[in-house]
Amino acid sequence: MTTHTRVAVVGLGALGAAALWRLAARGVDVVGFEQFGIGHALGSSHGQTRLFREACLEHPGLAPMAAESRTLFRQLEQASGKELLRITGGYLIGSPESDVVAGTARAADAYGLPYERLDRAALAARLPQQAELPPDACGIHDPGCGVIDPEATVVAAVAEAARLGAAVHTHTTVETLEPGADGVRITAGGRVHTADAVIVAAGAWLPPFIPELELTPVRTPLHWFAPDRDGAGSATDFAVDRFPVIVRQTDPETVLWGHGAVDGGLVKLGIGDIWGERPPRIDPSALDRGVNTAEWRRLSALVERVLPGLDPVPARVEPCMITLSPDDQFVIGTSPASPRILVAGGDSGHAFKHCLAIGESLARDVAGEAQPYDLDFVRPGRFAV
C-alpha cells in the first residue's frame, strides 16, 4: 500500500534531522528516511565535536543564520535535556590582512558582534601553547565561539521530531524520486511512498539525486592529538578551558583549526580545506575508511611546528566526508530538478553550526513563510545558467 505525507525528508544527518524537527514543530505531516541508524558515523556528522562561530568569515551573510542556530540549539537542549553547544570563546589568528582575522572582523562589525583585538604579545600571553608566531601576528578573541556535539544534536533533533509526530524510517534507503503533477513518487526500501514535497538532505550521497547541481563529495578525515608527555605539553595546557576554539592562518593557503580537549579527551585539529587545493571526488558508498599516513603528514608537520607541546603523530584518525559546492556555500531551497524537490546540501565543510537554522529555513519555505534574513547566496538558483 502506498503511504502519502505532505513532506518527506531524504537523509537524517545534520541538515535532514533539523528539517524534520522544524517541520514537525509546525505540525506538518512529515516522514524521514535514513539509510543507516540515527547518529551514525558513516556520513559527515560524526566525530564528537564541531566548531561553532557566529562571526563567520566564510560569507558575511552567515552570521544571522548562526545566530538563529544558536537560539535553536538552546531550544533543542531544553527539549532533550542534553548540552549540545558549549560556548568556550575562541581565537582567530593571522596577519592583520589575513582571511581569518580580517574576514572575522568584517563579519563581526557588520552584525555588531562583540570581539577583542589582540596584538602579538597579548596573543602569546593568552595562548602560550603556540610557537612560531610571526612578527606581524595578531588575533581576535571571539567570545561567541564554541563546540557542538554533532551526534547528540542529530539524535536529539530526530527524537524531538518523532515526539512531535514525524514518522522516521531508519535503515531505509531512498532509491528513486519521481516528481509529477500531483506529488513526488518515492521508492524506499522496496516500498512506494508519495509526498507533496521532498527535501533531499543526503549529504555526500546527494549529487545523483540532483545532477544539475555541481556538488563534489570529498574525503576529509578527522584528527585528534595528545599532549606530548615527554615534551613541553601537559593535559591541563590543552584542556578546552585553556586552549579553546582556535583558527590560525599560518600562510595564505593554510589554516589550522581545532580546539582543546573536552572532558579529558584529545585535542582535535585539522587543516582548513576551503582555501586549499580541492581533493579528488569520492564515491561515498565506497569511501576508503582506512587511515592514510600520507594524508596526515602535512597536518602533523604543522602541529610539530606551531604546537610543540603536542605529540605530532595523531592519536586518533577517523574518516569523514564533506560535499563541496562550486562557491563553497550551501545549497538550500527549491532545486532545479522540480519545484516539489527542495535540496539541503553542498555543506562545503562548514554547515554543522548552521544546521538548525537551515532546517528552520526549509520549514519556512515549505510553509510559505517569509525568510527573516537574506538567503540568496545559498539558493540553488544562483547556479542557474
Query: Where along the sequence are the contacts to ligand FAD (CB under 6 A)?
Result: 10-16, 33-36, 43-45, 50-51, 173-174, 201-205, 220, 222, 270, 320-322, 345, 347, 349-353
> In angstroms, what is the minimal distance from the CB of 231 to ligand FAD?
26
Cβ proximity to ligand FAD: between 279 and 308 the closer is 279
Cβ proximity to ligand FAD: between 23 and 320 the closer is 320
> In angstroms, what is the minimal distance from the CB of 302 to ligand FAD?
15
The stretches of the chain forming alpha helices (DSSP H) are 14-25, 63-80, 99-111, 120-126, 150-163, 293-306, 355-367
Query: CA–CA distance from 116 to each of 64, 70, 102, 300, 373 (Å)?
Result: 20, 21, 13, 30, 26
> In angstroms, what is the minimal distance from the CB of 7 to ligand FAD?
15
> In angstroms, what is the minimal distance from the CB of 25 to ligand FAD?
18
> In angstroms, what is the minimal distance from the CB of 334 to ligand FAD?
17
358 and 344 Cβ atoms separated by less than 8 Å:
yes
Cβ proximity to ligand FAD: between 183 and 349 the closer is 349
322 and 273 Cβ atoms separated by less than 8 Å:
yes
Q: Name the DSSP class of 55.
A: S
25 and 363 Cβ atoms separated by less than 8 Å:
yes
From CA 66, how far away is CA 110, in angstroms rounded?
14
Q: How many residues does the chain have?
A: 385
> In angstroms, what is the minimal distance from the CB of 352 to ligand FAD?
3
Beta pairing class for 184-188 and 174-179? antiparallel
Cβ proximity to ligand FAD: between 14 and 184 the closer is 14
From CA 120, how far away is CA 133, in angstroms rounded?
8
From CA 285, how far away is CA 299, in angstroms rounded?
26
Nearest to 196 by CA among 371, 361, 365: 365
Cβ proximity to ligand FAD: between 22 and 50 the closer is 50
94 and 123 Cβ atoms separated by less than 8 Å:
no
Residue 124: CB atoms within 10 A of its CB come to 15
From CA 65, how far away is CA 58, in angstroms rounded?
12
Cβ proximity to ligand FAD: between 51 and 184 the closer is 51
> In angstroms, what is the minimal distance from the CB of 217 to ligand FAD?
9
> In angstroms, what is the minimal distance from the CB of 136 to ligand FAD?
26
Cβ proximity to ligand FAD: between 14 and 306 the closer is 14
3 state DSSP class of 203 = helix
Q: Which residue is nearest to ligand FAD (CB)?
A: 13
Cβ proximity to ligand FAD: between 34 and 68 the closer is 34
Q: Indicate the residue type of 78.
A: Q
